[in-house]
Amino acid sequence: MITGIKVRNFKSLSDFSLLDLPPFSCLIGLNGSGKTTVLQLFDFIGQLMHGRGEMRGWNPTELITGGSRARTIHLTVSLLIDDKHLSWHGAFNVDKKRMENEQIRFDNGSELFKVEAGRTLVMQGENNPDRKDIAFLNYQGSLLSSLKISDPWILSVKNELASLKSFDLLSPASLRSASKKSNELGLGGDGLPGFLSQLDSEQSESLMNTLSQFYPRLQAFEIKRRQFGWKNLLIKEYQRTVQTGHINDGLLRILAILSQRYSSSGFLFFDEIENGINQEIVQKLVEQLQNFRDKQLMVTTHSAQVLNYLNDSAARKSVYLLYQDIEGLTHARKFYDIPAVSELLEFMGPGQAMSQTNLIELATQLCQKDDLPQNDDKKSGTEA
């Protein structure tokens, strides 16, 4: 499980951290506060572990914070694995498209893995460190993606970070599209029929049972096989079969989200979780997301209603406010730890407390308290 993340020099995240992350967390904030940038950051880290130094078709130099002359993005991820606290550190060189000076260590400071001077890999064994010359290696992303790893702790860190999966707004058009068999759902929901087709019968039955709690009239979802390996999604209700062109957007989004219980990803990030979903079933969705098998989830929302379905204790632990200063740099705070908001939570629900809070004024107050450049109407260059 990921317990914290720190980054310097990634887009609007010039000096940014999210700490004390629980199994379920929720990001709120105004449009342009940086929520989507945080989603992209998690996606970026996951791509590094797959040996990719590029993402979403961007030039890596576009990831650098605006105005910065630095050529590196500094990353730290804290993890909890089998009751042990570890951290992964490194700096991504945007020119070389790879991590440099990577380290993995326990919280007591003992090192498991480190790169010295960009040339020597040191992996700590039970007795003596194992040192290897890596100057000849040509790799992108993280060095971990290019190594055969036998140490269980190092392998666990790599696998945990490689299992990060971020989704953009799930597009109904993408969800409806035919696709080939795949063990992964695309960023915008493309590939849904192909992903569902590779579930085994037990997983499909379990998914359908959960889906029927949202839409009781549904009897089954089916995959129609076409030529050349293409597959279409069909829904069966009241003894009739409905093609995807006639399935409502909300059902498709719910199906796509719930299907990720059975993905290989250990950390899932969904943008604007309430988007296109009927208010009457948002509560069921929030309940499901807080108990999502053995996975860690992060979501963004603009909806106070979503927060109302969290109890006070869960809200205090899981809701983070993102806000920007006048220079367009993003900062984060646990929303219900802010004194003025915490007081509201004493006599109203989490969503009501959000509705009663002027987030523009609150951002200005937080910038004043932290001695940051303050927001005003002249702010520009924001990121979603």
Lowest mean pLDDT among 9-18, 141-150, 339-348: 141-150
**Mind listing the pLDDT tens digit for each residue in 181-236?**
988 999 999 999 999 999 999 999 999 999 999 999 898 999 998 888 899 999 99
Mean pLDDT for the chain overall: 89
Looking at residue 379, its pLDDT comes to 40
- Residue 28 CA to residue 129 CA, distance in Å, equals 45
**Mind listing the pLDDT tens digit for each residue in 255-284?**
999 999 999 999 999 999 999 898 889 999
**Mind listing the pLDDT tens digit for each residue in 28-56?**
999 999 999 999 999 999 999 998 866 67
In the predicted model, what is the mean pLDDT of residues 361-375? Answer: 82
CA atoms 305, 6, 53, 107: torsion sign = negative
Locate 160 and state its tokens.
């945990």
Per-domain residue ranges of the chain: 1-165+270-369, 170-259
Q: Would you list the DSSP string of 131-198?
A: EEE-TT----B-GGGGS----HHHHHHHHHHHTEEEE-SPPHHHHHS-B---SS--TTSTTHHHHHHT
Give the global pTM: 0.91
- pLDDT exceeds cutoff 90 at 16: yes
- pLDDT exceeds cutoff 80 at 384: no
Q: Would you list the DSSP string of 6-51?
A: EEEEETTEEEEEE-S--SEEEEE--TTBSHHHHHHHHHHHHHHTTT
**Mind listing the pLDDT tens digit for each residue in 302-323?**
999 999 999 999 999 999 999 9
Q: Residue 225, Cα to own-chain centre: how many angstroms?
A: 32
**Mind listing the pLDDT tens digit for each residue in 131-181?**
776 665 788 899 899 888 888 999 999 999 999 999 988 999 999 999 999
Fold assignment, 1-165+270-369: Rossmann fold (3.40.50)
More confident site: 54 or 90: 90
- Residue 336 CA to residue 177 CA, distance in Å, equals 41
Q: Which residues are CB-contacts of 110 (< 8 A; sequence separation ≥ 6)?
A: 124
- Residue 122 CA to residue 144 CA, distance in Å, equals 12
Looking at residue 382, its pLDDT comes to 44
- pLDDT exceeds cutoff 50 at 289: yes
In the numeric block, the tokens 């790599």 are attached to 158
Model confidence at 118, in pLDDT bands (50, 70, 90)? low
Looking at residue 128, its pLDDT comes to 57
Q: Give one word for 371, left, alpha or beta, with left for phi > 0 and alpha for psi -120 to 50.
A: left
The angle at the Cα of 246, spanning 243 to 249, to the nearest 5 degrees, equals 115
- pLDDT exceeds cutoff 70 at 127: no
- Residue 355 CA to residue 349 CA, distance in Å, equals 10
More confident site: 59 or 309: 309
